Each structure stands twice: as C-alpha cells, then as structure tokens.
Structure 1
Amino acid sequence: MRCYFNLMSDEETIIDDEGVDVRDLDQAWAQALKAIAELRAEADGELIDWDRWRLEATDPSGKVLFSIKLTHSLH
C-alpha cells in the first residue's frame, strides 16, 4: 500500500508527492513517527510552534488514514 505523509496546519499544507510503500497501517504509523522524529531533529534549536502542525497519512486517493499532532509523544 502506498502512503503519503502530508504536513498540515490551519494556514499551510505541505504535500508529500512521493509517498512510501508500507505493508499495513501499523507500518505506516511507525513510518509517520519516524518522519516526525526526523522533522524535530532537523529543526534542532529552531523555535517552531509544533502545536499548529499535524501529519496526515493518506492513501493514493487522498483518503485520510490517520492524523498525528506533531506534539504527539514519540516514546
């Protein structure tokens, strides 16, 4: 299954136009948490209001599979 991870806020949308292949929703969830961890690592030291953002995982048709606030605990 192909899964796309779009970054969303009330004011802005950043579309994932590549996506990743995953076996199932559990693997998609794990990949989403990994992507969030990478975003946080890249922003190390920057003041970012993570509360404004969420990651929406969608299928190729655009159907939202799940959504994770970027303030979600990664542990």
Structure 2
Amino acid sequence: MRYYFHLVSSQQIILDTTGVEIRDPATVQHMVPRLIREVQKEPDQTAKDWEDWRIDVEDPFGNVIVSVPLDTSLP
C-alpha cells in the first residue's frame, strides 16, 4: 500500500505526491520519527521554525493514519 507523508501547518500544506510503497503498516510508525529528525536537521532551522508544523501520513484513500508535530522531542 502507498502512504503519503505531508508537511502541514495552519498556513501551508506541502503535499507528498509520490508517496512510499510500504507492505507492513507498522513500518509507517517507525518512519515518522526518522523523517522528523531529517527535517529538524535542515540547516538554519530551529525548533521554533517547526512549532506550527506536523507530518500527516495518509493512506491511499486519504485517511490520516498518523499525525505528529515536527517540534516533537525525539530520543
């Protein structure tokens, strides 16, 4: 099944139009923290820059199955 990882704020949406083919839905839960770390590592970005942003993961039917704020502290 293909899942889409959208960046969403109250002012803007950056759609993932390609998505990722994932066989095991449990894998989605493990991908989100990795994606958040990647976004947080972007040069010239601070946690404050991501206060209003989140990652919404949608299934092919448009259902949001995971929504995680980007300013989440990760281990």
State TM-score, norm by structure 1: 0.84
CA distance in 1, matches of 2:45, 2:2: 31
Structure 1 ranges of 4+ moved more than 3 A: none
- The 5 A counterparts of 1:50-69 are 50-69=50-69
Cα deviation, residue 10, structure 1: 0.5
Percent of aligned positions with the same letter in both sequences? 36
Deviations 1:11-63 (A, max 9, x none): 00000011112233321021121111111112x33345211000000001111
- CA-atom RMSD in angstroms: 1.5
Task: Give the match for residue 45 of structure 2.
Answer: 46
Mind listing any 5+ residue stretches in structure 2 that lack a counterpart? Answer: none
SS in 2 for 1:74: coil
The count of residues paired between Structure 1 and Structure 2 equals 74
State TM-score, norm by structure 2: 0.84
Task: Give the match for residue 2 of structure 2.
Answer: 2
Mind listing any 5+ residue stretches in structure 1 that lack a counterpart? Answer: none
